[in-house]
Chain A
């Protein structure tokens, strides 16, 4: 059977936050499985997803924590922020209330993560253009004012979903490269793995050549 070695250089922890029903779990599912899940059950607490991506020739494993958006879980959700390298803050372009709550999510994200955590704002359900309630320009401006990356995406069509995760990863990687993200700091959200075969019993591939360490 074909096995790919789990040789990635970094693990980035991501969290996905936002109001209930904005499509956080669907975004994750679309990203990891490339499928749209129509009747997605409500998330309890947190669920996880992983995928290995490549940024500037480096393999990076994204460890994504998909949190419950419901207010009831808010107190618990706060424990998930710790050590996140990236945060995807999601709202629903067809529901203004989810956009209005962004500031409170942003406050949480800023307070509970480290200053270098990359936050990307995602306007989900971009396929529902007819029901749009929040304009692109408005959200773009909000993102700029708060120093966030911004994209409109659709978990249904898959539009921009990859990009959302990749853009954040690029930014984090860039931060590592220019030294603004200290990998040794506790809770940087990034683990550096010198290329070594992971899960040795699963792979018979020869050891991959060492890739240059970025730090």
Chain B
């Protein structure tokens, strides 16, 4: 088979983009055969980000992966309009600090959220995506030829994309999975059940109260050694560390290369808290079956056949430049973790959320706006 110049350009691009997918996941770093083998399996995965776009209410997209980014830019425009109309306060705030949607949405879409600094947040987002079946998924599946027609040199990509899409979106595959493992069985219908609980079980007041109590515990957590906190307390350590780091930022060295994530992190912390609080509340509900907490104890996406890759069982991301001695309890002796463990792990305690940016200066006012975005994530249909 011969490849055209366009194909080769595209392949080069894929090679570049592969590095961007999970750039900080331990298993995918370096040149070990394992890492090299694993990367392509993620390339397919990072491509169908338009499903994410769909999830967020944008128009039906075709492949976001193209050389001039026109498609992703189009999606960003749609996202921008949606944000403007549905979340005007947040949109205005972002505008006032000079942040365009393209600045943060593009990395999200292009990497299917793996650009987020914390493995936990990636899992939370993926869980969310898989829980919610996009209404247009059936249309996408019904019209596979339309996307292949205009793809030209991207035939390979289209197939990868299509395969990933089928695995990710096809309810039949999920049901097969159901039969395979009865203990963790679930269906789109039960997923909807969980979702309705998610939105119903958390009122705004509860979120605020929780936020306050979390904040207190987070402050107390500063005095403890973050590195020794167990994995079960991982998320809290992540948070307390965040507080610690934020207050630690002095006049010098206050910067962080990834300080853009200071915008994302509060969101993530809260979204995780939402998941956790939901879990807690379900545990406390006498009516809830024993299956439900179990479901939330492990990330749903790990049940998916496409994601049964052994590498996904590895501990979470750890940035090379930020590497620290691993906190005890963070990973088992074998270097592998169960999905449940993986989910409860903290983000690397040493990822700095960065010094207060223009955004966090007006943190109090933006708190509400962020809360709004977070809630919207769990209520969009």
Interface residues of A in 121-179 (CB under 8 A from B): none
- A190 proximal to B (CB < 8 A): no
Query: Bound complex: CA of A80 vs CA of B106, how far in Å?
Result: 13
**Of A35-43, A92-100, A109-117, the one touching chain B:** A35-43
CB <8 Å contact, A33 and B253: yes
Query: Bound complex: CA of A97 vs CA of B24, how far in Å?
Result: 30
Binary flags per residue of A173-215, CB closer than 8 Å to B gives 1, else 0: 0000000000000000001000000110010000000000000
CB <8 Å contact, A41 and B358: no
Binary flags per residue of B251-267, CB closer than 8 Å to A gives 1, else 0: 11111111110000000
- Could you tell me the distance in whole angstroms from the C-beta of A201 to the nearest C-beta in chain B? 8
- Could you tell me the distance in whole angstroms from the C-beta of A96 to the nearest C-beta in chain B? 21
Query: Bound complex: CA of A47 vs CA of B116, how far in Å?
Result: 12
Residues of the B chain whose Cβ atoms lie less than 8 Å from the Cβ of A33: 253, 255-257, 321
Total A-B residue pairs with C-beta atoms closer than 8 Å? Answer: 128
Residues of the B chain whose Cβ atoms lie less than 8 Å from the Cβ of A198: 356, 361
CB <8 Å contact, B253 and A42: no
Residues of the B chain whose Cβ atoms lie less than 8 Å from the Cβ of A52: 250-252, 254, 355
- Could you tell me the distance in whole angstroms from the C-beta of A193 to the nearest C-beta in chain B? 9
CB <8 Å contact, A11 and B253: no
Do A79 and B100 contact each other (CB < 8 Å), given the known contacts A25-B257, A49-B257? yes
- B129 proximal to A (CB < 8 A): no
Residues of the B chain whose Cβ atoms lie less than 8 Å from the Cβ of A59: 251
Within 8 Å by CB of A28, from B67, B248, B257, B361, lies B257
Within 8 Å by CB of A72, from B13, B29, B363, lies B13
CB <8 Å contact, B354 and A50: yes
Query: Bound complex: CA of A83 vs CA of B358, how far in Å?
Result: 14
Query: Bound complex: CA of A199 vs CA of B102, how far in Å?
Result: 27
- A10 proximal to B (CB < 8 A): no
CB <8 Å contact, B68 and A75: yes
CB <8 Å contact, B255 and A39: no
CB <8 Å contact, A51 and B23: no
Within 8 Å by CB of B254, from A28, A42, A47, A51, lies A51
Question: Can you pick out 6 interface pairs between chain A and chain B where the beta carbons lie within 8 Å of each other?
Answer: A2-B250, A33-B255, A45-B106, A46-B103, A48-B259, A198-B356
Q: A50-B259, A199-B356 are in contact. List 10 more A-B contacts (CB 8 A).
A: A25-B257, A32-B256, A39-B320, A41-B20, A42-B16, A44-B111, A47-B258, A50-B255, A70-B16, A80-B103
Query: A residues bordering B, Cβ < 8 Å?
Result: 1-4, 6, 8, 11, 13, 25, 28-29, 31-35, 37-39, 41-42, 44-54, 59, 62-64, 66, 70, 72-73, 75-76, 79-80, 82-83, 191, 198-199, 202
Query: B residues bordering A, Cβ < 8 Å?
Result: 13, 16, 19-20, 23-24, 29, 67-69, 73, 98, 100, 102-103, 106-107, 110-111, 115, 222, 244, 246-260, 320-321, 354-358, 360-361, 363
